[in-house]
Amino acid sequence: MISDSLQRALIAHLESWGLRRFTSDDAYFQWQRQLLSAQELSALHGHVERKRQGSAADEVAFYDATAHPRILPVLYSQRYDYYLTIGSLVASRIADAQTVLDFGCGVGILTTFYAKRFPHIRFVGVDRSAVSISQAQDKAKALGLENLRFDCREVAREPLPGRFDLVVATHALVQVEQDPGLPSRDWTTFERAHDVHQQSQFEERTGIGTRLDRLCAALSTPGRMIVFEKTRQLSRRVPFQRALTGRGLSLVEQPEPIRYRLVEEIADDGPFYLMKNEGRERLAWDESPEPDEGLPFNPSVTKPAAAGSDEPLYENHHASAQAAWQRLHNRSIVKETTKTETDGRQLHVEFGRSDEGRYLYCANTFDRRQLVIVEPARAAMLDAYYHEIAGG
């Protein structure tokens, strides 16, 4: 679906912004030190730290500082693969729109690409960082883009300017990265209760409620919306999806989890959603955990560990550990603890026997699942882990 010519055009566009692709931290940081002074780097680290605290003012200060032409290419090069991946996914879904809003457009790296690629479409980029918007305006002027304008506004305070048949928000709706989301009903399940109060608290503390209301109000009928946020964790994905469905949005295509590179690190992000605000719902919203890389549970392949080795017979730290635990044969619990931790999450730890061996199982209401099986002779090791976890 994504053509080579689109990718090539995007690569050339990122180059025109001075962005470079790195796959090694050493090479990237060496380049960073060549381009920025120690003073600039220390100021930048200060902004990153303050942004982490989560106040809106600190976030705006961070985006204002990083929009500076000396900092911009250096910092945004870390997101090179993000731009390539998300820019391609969005651009390949834009062609039949007439008016597009890019909410939280930042310095306009992607907005200017879309506008250049689709001269027949009118684009508006909105952001609350004044320096980012001024940088975006300069770039649009330099590229001679007449189908694009940028507008500086805080959507928590004022509505969006106009109505659009496509609204795009990528990494702009759920900025509070440390918000854990919504807990499951209890440790035995991944299901979330339909609790209106919990949902509205999530939307309020992450700011996503107001932002989505504004975006929906700016969407023509019929209209489409593309969103891509840090909502890969089930506990965040569920309330995020409920916020979307609660506003009458339905899926046009199956949401796609996205993996991209941040220099050396691999980011598992998204999913990428394309939705519409009118018409019959065809696709169901999925509230179950993603298929994971947990070892398939097959008792016949659990082998005795080598003498002297601490290696377990079976180990799974993913959601699929729950199904493996349920399939243990002749499971009998030796000891178990279920407790509520200080942050409200419920934790269950269980040490027991089964035909497959001695096992330790851990589960909590934020989707942690862990199953370890060892030979009976190594039970003391699991017993020690049990007390460590149960004791907090």
Using CB under 6 A, list all residues that contact ligand SAM.
63, 104-106, 110, 126-129, 132, 154-156, 170-172, 175, 211
Closest to ligand SAM by CB, 154 vs 204, is 154
Cβ closer to ligand SAM: 104 or 223? 104
Distances (CA, A) of 70 to 19, 20, 35, 150, 277: 12, 14, 8, 21, 41
- Closer CB to ligand SAM, residue 84 or residue 110? 110
Minimum gap (Å) between residue 357 Cβ and ligand SAM: 47
Structure tokens at 284: 């169901």
Nearest-CA neighbor of 365 among 194, 192, 177, 176? Answer: 192
Rounded to a whole number of angstroms, the minimum distance from the CB of residue 74 to ligand SAM is: 15
184 vs 193: CA distance, rounded Å? 7
Give how far the C-alpha of residue 284 lies from the chain's centroid of Cα atoms, to the nearest Å: 20
- In DSSP terms, 125 is beta-bridged to 102, 150
Q: How far is CA 19 from the centre of its chain?
A: 23
CB of 91 to ligand SAM, least distance (A): 13
C-alpha–C-alpha distance, residues 74 and 342, integer Å: 40
Nearer Cβ to ligand SAM, position 157 or 282?
A: 157
Task: Write down the least CB distance from residue 207 to ligand SAM, Å.
Answer: 7
Structure token digits, residue 225:
């919306």
Q: How far is the CB of 213 from ligand SAM (least distance, A)?
A: 12
- The amino acid sitting at 236 is R
CB–CB of 91/112 below 8 Å? no
Distance CA 334, CA 354 (A): 10
User: Is residue 336 a contact partner of residue 387, using CB atoms and an 8 Å limit?
Assistant: no
**Local structure of 52: helix, strand or coil:** helix
Q: Supply the Cα-derived Rg of the chain in whole angstroms.
A: 24
Min dist. Cβ of residue 250 to ligand SAM (A): 23
- Residues 39 and 35: their CA atoms lie apart, in Å, by 12
CB of 137 to ligand SAM, least distance (A): 14
- CB-nearer residue toward ligand SAM: 47 or 128: 128
- Of 202 and 386, which has the nearer Cβ to ligand SAM? 202
Nearer to ligand SAM, 229 or 350 (CB): 229
In whole angstroms, the minimum distance from the beta carbon of 156 to ligand SAM comes to 5
How far apart CA 152 and CA 105 sit, in angstroms, is: 10
281, 248 Cβ separation under 8 angstroms? no
Q: Nearer Cβ to ligand SAM, position 170 or 184?
A: 170
- Closer CB to ligand SAM, residue 14 or residue 238? 14
DSSP class of 311:
-
CB of 96 vs ligand SAM, minimal distance in Å: 22
> Nearest residue to ligand SAM, using CB?
104
Nearest to 79 by CA among 320, 260, 305: 260
